[in-house]
Chain A
Amino acid sequence: MSTEQTPDLDPRLLEILVCPLTKGPLVYDRERQELISEKARLAFPIRDGIPIMLVDEARPLDEDEGSKA
């Protein structure tokens, strides 16, 4: 999914973003361009540098995913 030159996320934006469902922290997966909410087991996509913080656009995490953080 990741394009060659993904515009990097504004660190000031990253600092204030939380999971829209749980209000818990997000982990930024730069390679996959996703913001991962462990608590909600959802990955929010970042498309063209725009975080899509919509629950019905998020990808449910696989069972074994996301435990590394």
Chain B
Amino acid sequence: MQTASSSSPLIFDRRALRRQRRRAARRQPACDFLHREVAERLDDRLGDVLRDFPLAVELGCHHGALSEKLAANPRIGTVFGCDIAPDFARAHGHLAADEEFLPFAENSIDLIISNMALHWVNDTPGTLAQIRRCLKPDGLFLAALIGGETLDALRGCFMEAELDIRGGAGAHVSPFIDIRDGGALLQRAGFALPVADLETVTVSYENAFSLMRDLRHMGEGNVLAGRQKHFTRRDVMMKTAALYQQRFSDADGRIEARFDILFLIGWKPHASQPKPLAPGSGRISLASAVENMDESDESGC
């Protein structure tokens, strides 16, 4: 039914993503500090929701940064963790699944949560629609993904270096969803009470090479479908690193990389949820409401 990719253009090479995750799965999880940091923040947000979730599914369990927290959460009954890479699924989850082709029945899950996986999805509206479909009515979707202006510095330096040396530039950094699109996507997918917000995490690195190495090691390297399939030329890499150093280094000569984490929250619609009243159904005029506000001396806004 809702197939993910037949009509929309392919931005990401999902096979390459799986290969990259497979390699990342074999590594010690030392490089996944970003995933851990975001897992912490996701868990905080989940803590604000005073509800029990008998059955939860985690999309993209990676090295298990979030899975551990979910397992320890007394409000959550059973968690099934999935990852597109069977190696991660075996080590930290329960099944291998592709976020673009979810294998869960309609109305079957109380909570779908995802830490740093959905920014690799080609058809985001399709995936969100599938997520909403799998949730039970009043079920919660909560996700953190890379978005906004993440790695803009690296993107700019790469482009300038390539234009300078090769006379043309390829894509090295993914396109990301910004906060406004995040809210619109949730709404379009039919989520109730949608909220999108952005938190910036700034990470300091020795240089651009260590940044790129870390990205690869945490399974977040470049898997754009339109990427150059050969290694980037050494002189381009050197120039990129030099530009980055020149423009974005601090007093100690370390560079900063910016990660904008987009948090998406939405509920599957249910009759019990608060809804705006139908237009024209109000029984008190706005003018009298404002008057009352003045009288009670409340500065509401």
Contact = CB atoms under 8 A, between A and B. Distances in A.
B94 A54 contact: no
Contacts of B55: 12, 16
B86 A50 contact: yes
Contacts of A53: 82, 95-98, 101, 103
A50 B96 contact: yes
A4 interface: no
Of A13, A21, A23, the most chain B CB neighbours within 10 A belong to A23
Given A17-B105, A20-B103, A50 B1 contact: no
A24 to B, nearest CB: 10
Contacts of A20: 97-98, 101-103
B89 interface: yes
A18 B96 contact: no
B90 interface: yes
Interface residues of A, number: 22
Given A50-B90, A50-B95, A53-B95, A12 B103 contact: no
A61 interface: no
Given A12-B55, A16-B108, A50-B86, A21 B94 contact: no
A55 B84 CA distance: 11
A16 to B, nearest CB: 4
A10 to B, nearest CB: 7
B123 to A, nearest CB: 14
A16 B96 contact: no
Interface string A20-55: 111100000000000000000000000110111111
A17 B104 CA distance: 5
A47 B93 CA distance: 13
Contact of B95 (A15, A21, A23, A51): A51
24 contacts: A10-B80, A12-B78, A16-B105, A16-B109, A17-B95, A17-B104, A18-B103, A21-B3, A23-B1, A23-B105, A50-B86, A50-B93, A50-B95, A51-B94, A52-B96, A53-B82, A53-B97, A53-B98, A54-B96, A54-B97, A54-B101, A55-B98, A55-B101, A57-B96
Interface of A: 10, 12-13, 15-23, 47-48, 50-57
